[in-house]
Amino acid sequence: MLAATEIISISFNLKKSIMAKTLAIAFSQVTQTKEVRKFFEYAEKIADQQIKDFSKIMQTDNLPVPKSWETEVTTSTDSPFSDKLMLYHTGFLFQTAQAYHGAGLASAMRTDLVSTYESTILQNLMLTKKWFKIMVENKWLEQPPLAPNRKEIAKEK
């Protein structure tokens, strides 16, 4: 049986994943570039897997699963937003989700929950790595300052 704190975390994370999947579907239809479309398709796949994983846990304990929102996405292919804005929004959503997955992991008392959260966190890290690469390559986000590479500096002398 799930504890109340676990139910709250799973439910919240399920709702967040449902929103992420819906946005990824909508944004993939209206994006202007193939690279960004592939990213949104990947984001949809990741969110869908997280929905399945969290839903399975809730259903095992006979708890309700939030309704999907995919039917709310229109068939429009006219983009109301720039690729930059859609990517920024999606990246922010997945990065913010990491904090909530971490909170869920910290409150988990069952090993199946721990492994689900660990898998989810790793999936999100891979997604945000791809997001960051696209954002930097398109000059939509600056590369943050990095630690100096001391070995390279020493070779220069």
CATH code of the domain covering residue 81: 1.20.1260.10
pLDDT band at 157 (very low <50, low <70, confident <90, very high): low
Rounding to the nearest 10 degrees, give the CA dihedral for residues 125, 108, 67, 29.
0
The answer to whether 31 and 79 are in contact (CB under 8 A) is yes
The owner of tokens 């804005």 is 85
User: Structure pTM?
Assistant: 0.88
**Comparing C-alpha atoms, which of 102, 98, 103, 99 is closest to residue 131?**
98
**Comparing C-alpha atoms, which of 26, 28, 22 is closest to residue 41?**
28
CA–CA distance, 111 with 100 (Å, rounded to integer): 18
pLDDT band at 155 (very low <50, low <70, confident <90, very high): confident
Mean pLDDT, range 18-46, rounded to an integer: 97
Number of structural domains in the chain:
1
The answer to whether 53 and 112 are in contact (CB under 8 A) is no
Residue 150 has pLDDT above 70, yes or no: yes
Residue 152 has pLDDT above 90, yes or no: no
Residue-number span of the structural domain to which 81 is assigned: 4-155
Mean pLDDT, range 12-17, rounded to an integer: 94
